Amino acid sequence: MAWDFSTEPEFAEKLDWMRDFVKREIEPMDLVFRGPGDPFDPRSKARRIMKPLQQVVRDKGLWACHLGPELGGQGYGQLHLGLMNEILGRSRFAPTVFGTQAPDTGNAEILARFGTEEQKARYLQPLLDGDIVSCFSMTEPQAGADPGEFLCRATADGDDWVIEGEKWFASHADMAEFLIVMCITDPDVAVHAGSTTIIVPRDAPGMEIVRNTAVGPKDEIGSGVHGYLRFNKCRVPLSNTLGAVGGGFNVAQSRLGGGRIHHAMRTVGMLNKALDMMCERAVSRVTKGERLADKQMVQERIADSYTQITQFRLHVLYAAWLLDQDKGYTHRVRREISAIKAAMPGVLRDVVYRALHIHGSLGMSNETPLMDMWQYVPEMGIVDGPTEVHKVSVAKDILRRVDPAPGQWPTYFVPETRAAALAKFAPYLDEEAG
């Protein structure tokens, strides 16, 4: 049946299992391993705990579910992935335990789509197996949202590319086995035709990590997992070109769509966790002789949060469903992904703020997960492109299909539309009523 919002019982059973497994086995890791890189870094002590859990996930047939069966995934599709990611979004470690962590998911996608057989054997397989970590590096210190301002150059020299320039906020660069770097290869044409994605092994000569950058104010300068990179005449073989020379923008675009929708799916999980906390607090805390839950202003916060989460969730699932229908990032899929990307920081801000506020001083403390969630509010408005850029994309796509009014007045100009309506119904209007 079309427009059916139900989940098949067999898949609902898997989701139930996941809910229990994430809560029981994975959420405790969030409490013990608090370093920003812990869920991703193969050098972290957390790896020893994660490995057997990853095997349990594999045995359950739930490993790397963003992938089609040809790449070792289950081929459940994006809608089912959306339901799964809602559960995984409740824990920082859960995506890695299930083999669906960014940026490796997107990197696997582009290696599968654009990689040569040799590149796939060397980089894709170990990435899919969860044995190595990868990085995607596009942003530069002087430019992020506008790739037209990128300067990092790659020049062909014999059998090599020679890369010169800087990159910024390259997540996981320090722990990655390889980086996929977007370089300008022809500065005389627009970036859409003059950029190329190149695979740079972490130990390539001339690849320097100037320092790591952390999100938030508290960590020491130089800590964190986002690399400030410098390429000092860094040499890599021409055979490390990923996709066509000049096709880098296309490669980058094709991974960012997936990254954005997966973030949105996981954000639903975080939102539901904040709502659960808000509700539990409301029925637990008593003030002025009644529970917070009995106060109308608190009820309003809970009702507004529930409504916003439900609207956002349905939009995310709709975008996932469209992606399944179109089997790729078509125009309409990209429009919906941009729309949910733009909505995400606002919903997160409203819901997490209410949850935090209802918890009072405890909400402000480091003794609940709420302040960690709060950090994601601005992050979700910037990562994978700022909100403004996505809103512009949505508006342009809508406006593209709209014609100007046929004459001086709008189509719904009442004097004209009423005149037409009166003419249409004239025979009835002339008759006596009854």
Ligand X SMILES: Cc1cc2nc3c(=O)[nH]c(=O)nc-3n(C[C@H](O)[C@H](O)[C@H](O)COP(=O)(O)OP(=O)(O)OC[C@H]3O[C@@H](n4cnc5c(N)ncnc54)[C@H](O)[C@@H]3O)c2cc1C
Instruction: Tell me how far, at minimum, the Cβ of 145 lies from ligand X, in Å.
Output: 3
Which positions ≥6 away from 316 have C-beta within 8 Å?
82, 261, 264, 265, 268, 340
- Of 91 and 171, the one with the shorter C-beta distance to ligand X is 171
Identify which of residues 71 and 143 has a Cβ nearer to ligand X in the complex: 143
User: Please, which residue, 192 or 357, has the CB nearer to ligand X?
Assistant: 192
**What are the distances in angstroms from CA 275 to CA 12, 90, 325, 348?**
22, 12, 31, 11
CB-nearer residue toward ligand X: 144 or 369: 144
Counts of helices then strands in the chain (DSSP H, E)? 17, 10
CB of 149 to ligand X, least distance (A): 8
Nearer to ligand X, 25 or 384 (CB): 384
How many residues does the structure list for the chain? 434
Closest separation in Å from C-beta 137 to ligand X:
5
CA atoms within a 13 Å half-sphere pointing along the CA-CB vector of 60: 22
Judged by beta carbon, residue 105 or residue 171, the one nearer ligand X is 171
Among 289, 243, 285, residue whose Cα is nearest residue 120: 243
Least Cβ distance, residue 36 to ligand X (angstroms): 10
Under 8 Å between Cβ of 172 and 103 = yes
Nearer Cβ to ligand X, position 74 or 107? Answer: 107
What is the closest distance, in whole angstroms, from the C-beta atom of residue 240 to ligand X in the complex? Answer: 18
Residues ≥6 apart with Cβ < 8 Å to 83: 7, 11, 15, 317
Q: Collapse the DSSP code of 4 into the 3-class scheme (helix H, G, I; strand E, B; otherwise coil) and give the result.
A: coil
> Which residue's CB comes closest to ligand X?
144
The structure tokens listed for 14 are 């898997």
**Total Cβ atoms within 10 A of residue 169:** 21
Instruction: List Cα–Cα distances, 361 to 290, 303, 358, 371, in angstroms.
Output: 19, 23, 9, 11
Listing DSSP states for 257-287 in one string gives HHHHHHHHHHHHHHHHHHHHHHHHHHHH-EE
Indicate the SS3 state at residue 139.
coil
When the beta carbons of 106 and 130 are compared against ligand X, the nearer one is 106
Shortest distance, CB of residue 359 to ligand X, whole angstroms? 25
The distance of closest approach from Cβ of residue 261 to ligand X in the complex, given in angstroms and rounded to an integer, is 16
Long-range contact pairs involving 353-357 (C-beta distance under 8 Å, separation at least 24):
354/274, 354/278, 354/301, 354/302, 354/304, 354/305, 355/274, 355/275, 355/277, 355/278, 355/281, 355/305, 357/301
- Positions touching ligand X (CB under 6 A) are 103, 136-139, 143-145, 169-171, 215, 226, 379, 382-386, 388-389
Residue nearer to ligand X on the CB measure, 201 or 386: 386
d(CA 197, CA 255): 12
Q: How far is the CB of 401 from ligand X (least distance, A)?
A: 22
Give me the least distance between CB of 245 and ligand X, in Å please.
20
Question: Cβ of residue 225: shortest distance to ligand X, in angstroms?
Answer: 9
| Distance spanning both ends of the chain, measured CA to CA | 44
Comparison of 85 and 137: residue with beta carbon closer to ligand X: 137
